Amino acid sequence: LSLQIAREGAVLLKNKDNILPLKKDQMVLIGSMAKNTRYQGAGSSHINVPHPISAVEAAAGRQIVYAQGYDIHREDNAAELLAQAVEVAKHVKTAVIFAGLPDSYESEGGDRDTLAMPENQNALIEAVAAANPNTVVVLHGGSAMDIPWLDRVKAVLYVALGGERVG
């Protein structure tokens, strides 16, 4: 049931050239949220689930490469993570970036003062899209966010905080 809810709750914001749904060709999964899925909110909305499924786990059986791309706990860019992600993105058919709002950007008890995503994620998306024209972005988050790179990626899928099977 949680998988069905996650699928039905996803919102396709852009799909240029019908790049989605993805074929089983080799792809690179980029971004800390591909392994450390943000599937629920922070604070009092946090619950313990037996085993949340990440995108990396969900892609089992496909030919994938994973690159961290950014540190979810820092806003500054780790040059080596960015460079590694760009390098692997150059050599695959499709680059899929998992990004969005970390817990520190949104939770109850405080208002956001910006709609911006962490700058290290925006920089990663820009750099990967420049290296691979077939870039797809999967966005995690519980609220609106600016996506200044929209015209440089082929697809954007907003999965919100889709629950334990969102991967």
Give the SS3 label for residue 123: helix
- The residue with tokens 């760009």 is 86
User: What pLDDT is stored for residue 80 in this prediction?
Assistant: 94
Q: What pLDDT is stored for residue 112 in this prediction?
A: 84
* Burial profile 103-120: b = 16 or more Cβ within 10 angstroms, e = fewer: eebbbeeeeeeeeebbeb
The pLDDT value given to residue 39: 64
Position with higher pLDDT, 63 vs 87: 87
Per-residue pLDDT tens over the stretch 99-124: 999 888 887 777 888 999 999 999 99
**47-72 per-position pLDDT tens digit:** 777 788 888 988 888 888 999 999 98
User: Do the Cβ atoms of 98 and 140 come closer than 8 Å?
Assistant: yes
